[in-house]
A and B are shown apart, each in its own frame.
Chain A
Amino acid sequence: MNNVTQIVQKVRQAPWRVQRQWIGLFLLALVMVAMVASLYLNVTVGATLAGRETISLQATITTNQRVNADSETLLAGLTSVVAMQQRAETIGFLPASPEDITYVAVPGFMAHSAVDMSTPGTVAPAVPIILPEYTESWFDYFINQQASSASGGGQP
């Protein structure tokens, strides 16, 4: 206990040490503010870049969708009835008449019916792609955490 009292007395007794403490505290505060500001700037730059990339990707998606639509329509034009008939005639085919056809019974053969354009697995996602962790505030985070812990969630 005596040693501690002696040390305190010695420090108090040196004014330049007090001065240094204040300077150190000031600089520490300044460094912290600068660090926070820099961090904020860094995060802002990151968010801005990500946002611009998001917008850019959105534009790319839209462009790709248009290119797909254009390609599909172009392909349909190239394979239209008129175009296909002309090509068939050019290479020497003739339309078949009932007399030209020979029917053969093939066990298990199923006559072709109308098209089925179902595409399992391509159902549009019902949930947002961006997870809430990337958009919620600290306040929202804590509220959600509280809500999820209150609702239990333990296994039966």
Chain B
Amino acid sequence: MKQHPHAWRYLSTTFLLAVLGIAILVQVIRIQNSPEVASVIDQGNYVWKDYFPPRGEIYDRHGSLLAGNKTVYEIGLDLTVNPDMPTVMLALQMSGLDINEVNYRISLAPANAEYIILDDFVTANKAKTLMTLQEAAYGDPTGKNLDAIYFKAHYARSYPENDLASNVLGFVTEDNHGYLGIEEKYDNILAGIPVRILVPADPRRATEYPTIPPGQTIILTIDREIQAAIEKILDQALESTKASSGTIVVMDPRTGEILGMSSTPRLNLNDYQSISTVFPGETPFNRAISQAYEPGSVAKILTMAGALDSGAVRPDTVFFDEGYILVGGFRIVNWNGGAWGNQDMTGCLANSLNVCLAWVSTKMESESFYSYMQRFGLGHATGIDLAQETSGRLKIPGDSDWGPVELGTNAYGQGVSVTPIQMVVAASALANDGKMVYPHVLYAQIQDGKQSNTRTQIIGNPISSSTAHTISEMLANALETESSAALLPGYRIAGKTGTAQIPLSGGGYDERDINASFIGWGPVDDPRFIVYIWLEKPQSNRAASVVAAPIFKQVVEKLVVLMDVPPDAVRLQMIGR
């Protein structure tokens, strides 16, 4: 066959185009399999990544942040690049890191370790100093750079108010677990749910990350201004009375919202590691809920309320006080050992007569008396939403350690133990038309931008509304009769002191120290607050009317300003308009 004269042209063109096409294909394949691309796309590899949602924030009832989050750093060292250790250690020291801690961590690392964590929860300031040094040393020709240091940012709990409301809040440890107070009680909803997802290292396979909901934000019933005020008053009270500890609780008796709760000692929550120093031994973290004690005469308001409600006595019932009464074969006397003669029930409360109240309880008889005490919640935890609440102890007939004399002593608050919050809840029935409210610290939860408020719960009606009004009037009259130091001009207040003996572990009572308490609420006709004061072992005076009542007044002085409660006359005038 004859060759076409121009066949070579076609063949060479074909050859060139074929080479070009094949070269393109080879280049495409080469690019896709080049080390450069492989280093970027890390084809086929997947890595597990843990995402810890930021812990939910805690606000007070007016939106002030009580517990938030801040950035801290984990600082690690890549050993595969042979870091210059003297340079690294010098930089860590210059950044303010704890070299002893770093050396300890290095000593724990296995011999073949490729990466070690030098320190964790390093503050942003220290980490930024180290980053600046790393940047300055980048590309050092002598090899003394800090390129092997890695920074991993994460959240840590932060408390901008330091020790404010610390006994209520609790704290969060480095393992992101809440301990004590609100942080422990609501740990589940605050912490959020950590998510572990398989993330492709290949960016071509990058996909939408799942939405990781943060921990729920919560709002407390606490008013930080009230909280700060009662903490300051309590600190001053401890200093002036030389009491060993103190507790103040402020609650709204209509809703059960805790407006303030202070207890000593307090802990700077940003330095929670010092808890064992601040709370040595078995010191309760929050005495208001965790320390039961014999309250003494403040419990007389419950005895009298029960007696009035059961019909055992009336306000004008007269009791002749001979100075003692025998109950269960034991002689009960008054606080001053004196005989007070004829007293109506208001007089019994005003003069805080043990003999009278023991007579009242015996008149009620034990079944009725203990029935009322149980209806007031004594012997049972209130269920307040704070961790580590204790229930106190109410011995009742049938218990192995109950004796007939208890009927008399329990009537004036000895031989029975309660926590301050139990007394506040029980007394809320007296202040709130006979309705006892569930005490709570959680005002609301925020989820997906929606706020769910905690509803008011009535947990019992131990007495009738009329009895509640009667006992409130009696207590208000009693305070006015004795010109109590608890009274605030312009405001009608109901309340009762309590000076209680302290039982000894080996039996009997301490002859020297006492517990001084005061419970009160106001304004009597429309209570907005109920306040409980407890000073343990005050040294300046042994009478609650001297040490606890003035503190109550100081608290109420602050409350009426902070809660916008006008004097009774002004308020009634406004209502009348």
Contacts and interface: CB of A to CB of B under 8 A. Distances in A.
Are A and B a genuine interacting pair, yes or no? yes
Interface of A: 15-16, 19-20, 23, 26-27, 30-31, 33-34, 37-38, 40-41, 44, 47-52, 54-55, 58, 63, 65-67, 69-70, 72-73, 75-77, 79-82, 85, 96-98, 101, 103, 105, 111-112, 114-125, 128-130, 135
B70 A76 contact: no
B206 A80 contact: no
Nearest to B220: A114
Contacts of A20: 10
A95 to B, nearest CB: 8
Given A73-B160, A128-B208, A114 B71 contact: no
Nearest to B40: A48
Interface in B9-29: 10, 14, 17-18, 21-22, 24-25, 28-29
B68 A114 contact: no
A54 B7 contact: no
B574 to A, nearest CB: 5
A76 to B, nearest CB: 4
Contacts of A98: 488, 490, 557, 560-561, 567
B209 interface: yes
B449 A70 contact: no
Given A19-B10, A41-B28, A51-B203, A101 B69 contact: no
B64 interface: yes
A34 B560 CA distance: 85
Interface string B137-166: 000000000000000010100101110100
27 contacts: A16-B4, A19-B4, A23-B10, A23-B14, A26-B14, A34-B24, A34-B25, A38-B28, A47-B204, A51-B206, A69-B54, A69-B68, A73-B69, A73-B158, A73-B160, A76-B161, A80-B164, A97-B557, A97-B561, A98-B490, A101-B561, A105-B574, A112-B564, A117-B59, A121-B449, A124-B211, A135-B207
Interface stretch (B302-310, B338-346, B440-448): B440-448
A147 B577 CA distance: 69
Contacts of B444: 114, 117
A120 B203 contact: no
A65 B213 CA distance: 13
Q: Count chain B CB atoms within 10 A of each CB in A31, A65, A69, A114 and give the residue with the most.
A: A114
A72 B63 CA distance: 12
Nearest to A100: B561
B64 A79 contact: yes
B41 A72 contact: no
B443 A114 contact: yes
B566 interface: yes
B31 interface: yes
Given A76-B64, A97-B557, 17 more contacts: A34-B21, A37-B28, A47-B204, A48-B40, A48-B203, A51-B205, A54-B206, A69-B70, A72-B65, A79-B64, A81-B228, A82-B162, A82-B164, A112-B62, A114-B61, A118-B446, A124-B213
B217 interface: yes
B38 to A, nearest CB: 12
Nearest to B566: A103
B504 interface: no
B224 interface: yes
B73 to A, nearest CB: 11
B70 A73 contact: yes
A108 B339 CA distance: 56
B427 to A, nearest CB: 23
A47 B206 CA distance: 9
A81 B225 contact: yes
B100 to A, nearest CB: 28
Contacts of B22: 30
A96 B50 CA distance: 51
A116 B451 CA distance: 7
Contacts of A82: 161-162, 164, 228
B229 to A, nearest CB: 9
B124 interface: yes
B450 interface: yes
A16 B10 CA distance: 10
Q: 10 closest Cβ contacts across the A-B interface?
A: A51-B203, A51-B206, A76-B65, A76-B160, A30-B21, A115-B63, A73-B68, A77-B160, A114-B61, A119-B449
A120 B449 CA distance: 6
A52 B65 contact: no
B570 interface: yes
B234 to A, nearest CB: 15
A148 B75 CA distance: 53
B32 interface: yes
A44 B566 CA distance: 73
B219 interface: yes
B21 A111 contact: no
Given A48-B41, A124-B211, A124-B213, A118 B21 contact: no
A81 B230 CA distance: 13
A70 B124 contact: yes
A37 B202 contact: no
Contacts of A105: 574, 577
A120 B158 CA distance: 27
A34 B488 CA distance: 94
Contact of A31 (B21, B451, B488, B577): B21
Contacts of B158: 73
A55 B557 contact: no
Contacts of B213: 124
A129 B284 CA distance: 50
A125 B449 CA distance: 12
B564 A37 contact: no
A51 to B, nearest CB: 3
A72 B68 contact: yes
B113 interface: no
Contact of A55 (B59, B63, B69, B206): B206
Contacts of B68: 69, 72-73, 76
A31 B153 CA distance: 51
Contacts of B54: 65, 69
A117 B124 contact: no
B90 interface: no
Q: Count chain B CB atoms within 10 A of each CB in A48, A111, A112 and give the residue with the most.
A: A48
Interface in B66-101: 68-71
B21 A122 contact: no
Nearest to A67: B71
Contacts of A85: 228
Contacts of A26: 14, 18
B1 interface: yes
Contacts of B557: 97-98
A67 B159 CA distance: 16
